[in-house]
Amino acid sequence: MLRKPRRFFSLFGAVAGICVLLLLWTGLCAAGTIFFYKDEHGVMHFTDTPTSSKFRPFLSLRSRMGSSADRASITRYVEQYSQRYGLDPHLVMAVIEVESGFNHQAVSRAGAQGLMQIMPATQQDLGLAEPFDPAENIEAGIRYLKMLIDRFPDLSLALAAYNAGPANVERYNGIPPFRETQDYVRKVTTNYDRRRAARN
């Protein structure tokens, strides 16, 4: 007489487990990339919107189901959106290489995300909903870079603004005296020159 209830509860537990897995799968698919970190107490923390460099990629589903993050696809997105906004794709590729090394899941110490390392506040201004989606990140990053080039016609200043923020460029009336920003402008410019030379 006791076996039937046990079978019922076993079956109920299995069904409940499947339901939980389905809900988890649905959430993961919607999120795209799940990040995690283990705190000092050994507790695991998970999020789809990391706010610090402590988080590391745990699982990425969007690149498997949606936009691809391989180099050929990244190049295709760069060419597509560069043409739309009137930028040289070699410049954009130079920015991506320096910003993220073509890692679409990159998160900086300051919290910048994705291929073109866009800060969360800037993401909101640009309407970027999926910063780790290669196509969306590249489109928003190119659009932002175009805005900065229109604002600062000198490419070095536009790149400095991309790295340190336009307010700092205006504050110092030039490239800010930050070692990181100065190195960034030099690296992107050198990379861009190399790419243009290889094209010719």
The tens place of each residue's pLDDT in the chain, 200 residues long, gives 445 555 544 555 555 555 444 444 444 444 455 666 678 888 887 776 656 556 555 554 444 444 668 999 999 999 999 999 999 999 999 999 999 999 999 999 999 999 999 999 999 999 999 999 999 999 999 999 999 999 999 999 999 999 999 999 999 999 999 999 999 999 999 999 999 998 77
Task: Work out the angle at residue 199's Cα, subtended by the Cα atoms of residues 95 and 144, and round it to the nearest 5 degrees.
Answer: 25
On whether the CB atoms of residues 100 and 115 are closer than 8 A, the answer is yes
Return the DSSP state at 52.
S
CA distance 13 to 78: 49
On whether the CB atoms of residues 175 and 185 are closer than 8 A, the answer is yes
User: Domains of the chain: which residue ranges?
Assistant: 71-199
Q: Is 99 among the catalytic positions?
A: yes
* Annotated catalytic residue within 99, 130, 136, 139: 99
CA distance 95 to 12: 54
Class of the CATH domain delimited by 71-199 = mainly alpha
Q: How much is the pTM?
A: 0.69
Tokens of 5: 């209830």
